[in-house]
Amino acid sequence: MPFVYNLPFFCVFLCMITAILLSAAKSARLSWYATLGAAVLSAVMSAVLLVYITRADEAVAFSMGKFPAPLGNEIRFGPMQALLAMCFSSVLALSMLGGRSDMFHDVDGKKMGLACVMLNMVLASLLVLTFTNDIFTAYVFIEISTIAACALVVIKDSGSTLMATIRYLFMSLLGSGLFLFGIVLLYALSGHLLMPQLSARLSELMDAGSYRLPLAASAAMITAGLGIKSAMFPFHRWLPDAHGSATTTSSAVLSGLVLKGYAVLLITMFTRVFSLEAVHELGLGTPVLLLGFLGMIAGSLYALREYHAKRMLAYSSVAQLGYVFMGIGLCTEAGLAAAIFQILAHAFTKPLLFISVGRLSCAAGHEKELSALRGSAWSAPLAGIGFGIGALSMIGVPLLAGFTAKLGLASASISDGKMSTNVVLIVLAVSSILNAMYYIPAMIAIWRPARERVRLERDRAFNAGAVALIAGVLIFGIFFQPATELITRGLELM
C-alpha cells in the first residue's frame, strides 16, 4: 500500500493529538495558532491525497489496526471523501481566520485553549464521519461532534448562549439516541458493524423479503436521527438560536461544516449500507424529498421575518440544507452528486457570510440587528463585498457556487424523468425568489450611503480568510467541472 494512503489517518490523529495537548495550554495565541496549523496541515494532506487518489482512480479501505474487516475498525476513502476532507479542513481554517478578532473579543483568554480543543475535535469528528466504514465508529464520533459543537456555542459566555446550547444539546441527544437505536436494529439483523459486510447481508435480506419492517424502522430511525442533527425541516427549531448567538467562528463552523458532517454520513449510509434501490423500496426517498421541499420554503419564510442578521443567516441554512435533503430524496446518483456539490458550495458560502457579518458588526459596535448594520459596508468594504458575493451565491446568480449547485439539482431531477421533476423545478424557483427577497434588502441595507465612517483597525486575518472564501465560491461557480467529475466518480467508487 502506498504511503499516501496513511494520510487520512494522520489527519484525524493530528487533530486529536493537538486537541489533547491544547487542553492545558495557557497562552491563547499559541493555542489559536496551533489549531490553525493543524487545520491547514490537514487540508494540505487531504489535497495531496486527493491528487494521488484521483490519479489512481480507486477507493481504498484502510484498516485501523492489524486486523482487517470484518474483525477490526476500518476507514474507506475515494476521490469524493478526499475532496470533502480538503474542503472541510480548509473552510475551518478560513473561518478561524475570518472570525479571529471576534473570537479573541468574545472568549475569555483563560478559556481560549478549551475553545481550540473544541475546534480541533469538531474537525476530527467531521473527518471521521466522512471517512468511516463502520457504523459504530460513526456513532461515537457523532457524539464527539455533538459535545464539541455545543461547547463551541457556549464559549461565548452569555445568557442567550446558555439557553441556546441546552436546546441544541437536547435536540442533538434525541437525534443520536434515534441513530443509536437504528444501528442497534441493523446489528441485530445482520451481526455486522462494518459497512461492506453489513450491506451484503442486508441485500440478502432484501432479496429474501424477510425482516422488511425492522429494516424499514431502522432506516427511518437513522434518517430521522441524522435529520434532527442536520436541521431537517420540522426539527430545525434549535438552529437559529444556537447559530445566531454564538461567536463568529463558531457560527461559521457550525453552519458551514458540522451540519454537513451528518448529511455526508447519511449519504454514506444510503449508498454504502442500504443501496439506493433499497432506500427507495423501503419508502424513505419520498419523505426525505418532501421534507427537503418544506425546508427550502419554510426556512426562507422564517428568514424573511428576521431582523437579526445572524439569525437570518441561520434560517437560511435550514433552507440550504433543504436543498441537500431534496438531492438525497431523489434517490438517484445524480441527485446525490448534486447534494454533495450543494454541501461543498454551502460550506464555502455560509462561512463567508458569517465572517462578513461579524466584521460588519465590528463596525457597528458589535450589534447584529440589520438596522444597526445599515451603511456599515463603507467602513469595512471587503466585508461588504464578501457579504454581497455570498448573498448572490445563495440566491443563485450565475458564475457563483450556489448557481452551479442549483443547476445540478435541477438537471438531476430532469434526468430522473419522474413525476417529481415539475415539482422540483417549481420549488427551486420559488425558493430562489424567496432567497432573493431577504438577501437583496439586507445587501442594500449594508451598502446604504453612510453619513459617517467608522475607522476600523486593519484585520489581516479577516482579509485573508474572506479573500480565500470568495475565491472558493468563485472557483466552485466557474470551474465546477473537475469537482462535479470527482464527485460523480467518487459516488461510483463509494
Partner 1 sequence: MKKLSRFNDWVDGELDFPLSTLHDARPERHERGRHHSMSDSRSLSAFSKVYALLCLLVCLLLVCTLLAVAAALPGFGSEENPTVNEVSEHYVGQAEHETGAENVIAGMILNYRGFDTFGESCVLFLAVCCVMQLLWSTGAEKKQKTDFGGQDVILSRVCRVLVPCVLCFGLCVLFSGHTSPGGGFSGGSVLGAALIIFALAFGDGAVSRFFSRRIYNLVRITGLMVYALMFGCYIFLGANGIESELSRYIVLVVDIAVGLVVMSTMYGFYSFYTKGEL
Partner 2 sequence: MTGLINAIIDNRYAVTAVLLFVIGLANMLLQPNLIKKVVAFNIMDSATFLMLASRGFVEGRVAAVLTDGGADVSRYVNPIPAGLVLTGIVVSVSVSAFSLALIQRIYARYGTVELGELLKLTKKEKV
Which spans of this chain sit near partner 2 (rule: CB under 8 A)? 136, 139-140, 143, 146-147, 150-151, 154, 159-160, 162-163, 165-166, 169-170, 173-174, 177, 180-181, 184, 187-188, 193
Position 385 contacts partner 1 (CB under 8 A): no
Near partner 1 in 116-155, by CB under 8 A: 117-118, 121, 124, 128, 134, 136-137, 140-141, 143-144, 147-148, 150-151, 154-155
The only residue of 30, 211, 369, 464 in contact with partner 1, by rule CB under 8 A? 211
For 387-419, give the DSSP string: HHHHHHHHHT-TTSHHHHHHHHHHHHHHHHTST
Determine the interface stretch with partner 1 among 114-122, 299-307, 374-382, 422-430 (rule: CB under 8 A). Answer: 114-122
177 binds, among partner 1, partner 2, none (CB under 5 to 8 A by kind): partner 2
Identify the bridge partners of residue 243 per DSSP, sorted by sequence position. none
Q: What are the angstrom distances between the C-alpha of 50 and each of 23, 114, 348? A: 31, 31, 18
Rounded distance between C-alpha atoms, residue 416 and residue 333, angstroms: 10
**Side chain identity, residue 77:** F
Contact 393, 345 (CB under 8 A): yes
CA 246, CA 308: separation in Å to the nearest integer?
13
Residue whose CB is less far from partner 2, 159 or 417: 159
Cα–Cα distances (Å) from 72 to 61, 184, 295, 394, 427, in that order, read 12, 18, 39, 43, 45
Exposed / middle / buried, residue 96 (Cβ in 10 Å: 0-12, 13-18, 19+): buried
Classify each residue of 226-245 as buried b or exposed e, where b means 16 or more C-beta atoms within 10 Å of its C-beta: bbbbbbbbebbebbbbbbbb
User: From partner 2, partner 1, none, which one binds at residue 184 (CB under 5 to 8 Å depending on kind)?
Assistant: partner 2
Strands 74-77 and 60-63 turn out to be antiparallel
Residue 493: CB minimum distance to partner 2, A? 29
Residue with Cβ nearer partner 1 (13 or 33): 13
Could you count the other beta carbons within 10 Å of the beta carbon of residue 381? 10
In the complex, the smallest distance separating the C-beta of residue 129 from partner 1, rounded to whole angstroms, is: 11
What mask of x and - would describe binding to partner 1 in positions 417 to 436, judged by CB under 8 A? --------------------
Query: Cβ 228 to partner 1, closest distance in Å?
Result: 12
C-beta closer to partner 2: residue 170 or 479: 170
Output the nine-digit C-alpha cell for 479: 470551474
289 binding partner (options partner 1, partner 2, none; Cβ < 5 to 8 Å by kind): none
Least distance (Å) between residue 105 CB and partner 1: 16
By CB under 8 A, which span of 18-26, 238-246, 254-262, 438-446 interacts with partner 1? 18-26
Among 20, 48, 426, 433, binds partner 1 (CB under 8 A): 20
- Can you tell me which residue has the cell 471517512? 131
- Smaller CB distance to partner 2: residue 311 or 406? 311
Q: How far is CA 96 from CA 45, 99, 177, 265, 372, in A?
A: 19, 5, 31, 24, 25
Q: Which residues of 433-456 are buried (b: 16+ CB within 10 A; e: fewer)?
A: ebbbebbeebbebbbeeeeeeeeb
Helix, strand, or coil (residue 25): coil
Beta carbon nearer to partner 1, 150 or 486: 150
- 75 forms beta bridges with 62, 132
CB of 473 to partner 2, least distance (A): 33
Quick one: what does residue 64 bind among partner 1, partner 2, none, with the CB cut-off 5 to 8 Å set by partner type?
Answer: partner 1
CB 126 within 8 A of CB 261: yes
Binding mask of the shown chain, residues 72 to 111, with x at each position contacting partner 1 by CB under 8 A: xx----------------------------------x-xx
- The least distance separating partner 2 from the CB of residue 340, rounded to whole angstroms, comes to 28
Binding-site partner at residue 433 among partner 2, partner 1, none, CB < 5 to 8 Å by type: none
Residues near partner 1 (CB under 8 A)? 1, 3, 6, 9, 13, 16-17, 19-21, 23-24, 62-67, 70-73, 108, 110-111, 114-115, 117-118, 121, 124, 128, 134, 136-137, 140-141, 143-144, 147-148, 150-151, 154-155, 185, 187-193, 201, 211, 213-214, 217
